[in-house]
Amino acid sequence: MKNYIKKQQTKLKRKRVGNIDVFIKDAPEGIDSLSIIAKAIKKIPTHLASYIDTIYVGKFDHLLKRDLDASYSNGMIFLTNDQKSEADMMDDIIHEFAHSVEEMHSDEIYGDLSLQREFLQKRKKLYQLLKPEGFEVDNYSFDNPKYDYDFDAFLYKEVTYSFLRSLTTGLFYSPYAATSLSEYFANGFEAVFYGRESNKLKQISPILLEKINNLL
């Protein structure tokens, strides 16, 4: 990955958005990437937006292999250029900023295990909701807070997010929050800084909102 990044940086012209280097490998059709990135950064408190050094936009093998729209690693965000809309792109950016915040403030967010307990209680409820629907829930570990590819695929491909959304209203802010504890946090971060729905998040995930507010 590091060698790939070095090669790309020599090929692509660097842009700057605030203190962030932006390299556009493949431009999204009909979307001004630099403008969307700038708008996304403005939605996040300055000190929480300071952990990203570089953003790459384009077609990247590691995104394509896992059918991802974006990823975060070591101060860098990778965004697919295959964006449905400006809103989707902004949502992806803020979500990945959340993972950088999570990395830098891990002890504050997860140290007392209260957030993990809140998440796993919801996972237990999810198990109870899915089992009567005929899904093979016993093939998966609902009490594992870490990301698991098979569990992610189960929710995404077998259960489907559309069904999850109708089944878990009031349990998770959005279906993807059920994927792992890390995604649960990032989804809440989106709710606060992109959706501006702190009140809704407070009703659904009060400890999650408290953890985010403690970072402000």
Same-domain check for residues 94 and 114: no
And the tokens for 36? 């969307």
Same-domain check for residues 118 and 100: no
pLDDT, residue 12, reads 73
pLDDT, residue 6, reads 53
Same-domain check for residues 96 and 171: no
Rounded to the nearest integer, the mean pLDDT of the chain is 94
DSSP characters over the chain: -HHHHHHHHHHSPEEEETTEEEEESSPPTT--HHHHHHHHHHTS-GGGSTT--EEEES--HHHHHTT-SEEEETTEEEE-S--S-HHHHHHHHHHHHHHHHHHHTHHHHHTTSHHHHHHHHHHHHHHHHHGGGT--GGGS-TT--S--HHHHHIIIIII-HHHHHHHSBTTBSSGGGGS-HHHHHHHHHHHHHTS--HHHHHHH-HHHHHHHHTT-
Same-domain check for residues 163 and 70: no
CATH of the domain at 26: 3.40.30.160
Q: How many CB atoms lie within 10 A of CB 55?
A: 25
Q: Which domain-ending residue is among 104, 127, 152?
A: 104
Measured between alpha carbons, how far is residue 151 from residues 84, 156, 179 in Å? 25, 9, 7
For residue 186, give its domain range: 108-213
pLDDT at 105 over 70: yes
| Structural domains in the chain (count) | 2
| pLDDT tens, position by position, 156-193 | 999 999 999 999 999 999 999 999 999 999 999 999 99
Comparing 51 with 2, the larger pLDDT belongs to 51
Same-domain check for residues 99 and 151: no
Q: Which domain-ending residue is among 77, 104, 131?
A: 104
